[in-house]
Structure 1
């Protein structure tokens, strides 16, 4: 079962999308083929937030995820927005088993908010066959609420812990942290010339969007609370009254983008 089982609706509605400035970095990083067309492989696409941000920049997109509900939400959101003459294929597959059609190679591979779930070295090795000779692998994401970073987010995380325990949940298990920097892992892969870029982002949340975001995660999915879900919602709402009297909660975040290209052996 997917770690995100039951979260697709909340994920599509409440997960922050990919900012224009991040999409611009990805667009600029990817080369074009001689005919001017470009292919995108989005690994761990979820509900298609990355593919959506790049729909107008790539002519042929394959978006893969192992959660059927996520892919259905992506299809419903993206199909009608697809530019004329472009192709979008939604593939149910793990990153480790994803195999595009023979001869198909991407100018850009994106892995957003998902690399920590993967067999990282194996996926990067597999991509060596799936990325064009001058193509780019982009691994990127912003900080989740679990990382906190502001008093009101720390308070929300404390409420989650009071209901589900001190360790970060990951579905029925607990989250296993990766201690090595992603850039270091990439430098040991075929895509060993790595550049890092940071794109700041500012957001404003409400109680509704905070709860919706939490229910989109593997560490606070609705089913984890059992019959205490309403109690949890009330606790979050009560705790957040300490930080705002008008239901607005500002966030300073940033996307860290790692761009890997083939280089020295």
Structure 2
């Protein structure tokens, strides 16, 4: 995201601008880091961005074709990722939860198609409060608890086995290979093996009128 706070060059070595367009954010950012990468799905945008960098005598920025759909991808690891006007065009939850998506994408490689979880029923888009207000329980009290949850590779694998999908039985003798692939995928995203997930737990208490 864009921020008005200055970037400390000593702390930031590599920065990425996702959905960089013509480099209007990437080029100024590059002056404050040792290396920068601009990523955009449109080749014409990248050409204009490269021209902007040359015109500004900025030489520490590279350009790559790609989009949020390519995450986590092979772009590398970054201390700062910026998204200006591009963020609203993206699948925002997917962008911010790359490791969860990567694990989900692994399952079709190891499980038969008919065993994969099917999408849940379509939502009407109506809020919980609105639906409850016209139910026999119209008095609704809503509380949001915000906290962070830390995951490790072992905890993520354990969670996968704890869901309603009978993963152990379905994997059979491919279980070890699956676990190794999950671990390798997660460590490629975050070599420390520690993942911090921001959680907003929304609690609705509904009572009779």
Q: Does 1 or 2 have the higher relative contact order (CA < 8 Å, sep 6+)?
A: 1
TM-score (norm 1): 0.37
Greater radius of gyration (CA)? 2
- TM-score, normalisation: structure 2: 0.46
